[in-house]
Amino acid sequence: MKKIFFKKKPIICLTAYNKFFAEIIDEYCDLILVGDSLSMAYYGNSSTRSITVQDMINHGKSVRRGIKKSIMVVDMPYGSYNTKQKALKNAKKIINETKCDAVKLEGGTEIEDVIKTLVNNKINVMGHIGLLPQSVKKKKDYRVKGKNSKERKKIMDDLKSLEKARVFSIVLEAVNLNVANEVIKESKVPIIGIGASKNCDGQILVLEDMLGLFDKVPKFVKKYINLNLLIKQAVKKYATEVKNKKFPLKKNIYN
């Protein structure tokens, strides 16, 4: 597998779960992530933990068909990399079946050896530190990281571990601004922010969040359109026209 290098900055990243959205965003993105966030944003689960390797593969295959130029990364889901052997087996399966360019794993010091195993087997790995959605068990655990010295140290230690393991980039999620800027300053690899500093080398959002499909979103999300409202308006108009027999028109019917 070819090593990944970003040609320019800021690096523009979004998630996608199917071919159709991937086709739309590919023109503007440098990296498209098939995120395990699909567990919540697509399937309506309460956490990312419910998704399986096969789920990620199914969505990854669809996204692959919509990408022409962007780097494609697939999340390794919860429980799929808790040993080096398991991680290697699942990473190879994901890459072989989706033809993605890399996989993403959550964690730092605790998975350094796992990531080293993947990289030594010529697998590109994207890291993820700060808030780790796969580790969240309760809603209250969704909170900003790095607000105390213990959390700051953990984040900086994780950064060094991932660099030693030779990840090609790192997602930094929901981290205190001062700590995020310290990570950016110290890091030797590109830092992709989500709820972190604007000084990151790139930014990523869940596509459905920034399109305004959901009423409640994290603070770090900016809604660029209210697609929820537009869909409701379209469906309401459709329902009214069917009810009043204004649809289908003659041009909508086969002769």
Structural contact between residues 87 and 53, judged by C-beta atoms closer than 8 angstroms: no
Say whether 106 is catalytic: no
Residues 6+ apart with CB under 8 A from 210: 14, 221, 222, 223, 224
Return d(Cα 153, Cα 145) in angstroms, integer. 11
DSSP code at position 68 = S
Rg (CA), the chain: 20
Q: Which of 116, 126, 42 is nearest to 76 (CA)?
A: 126
**Catalytic pick from 106, 173, 182, 208?**
173
**Which residues are catalytic, by number?**
173
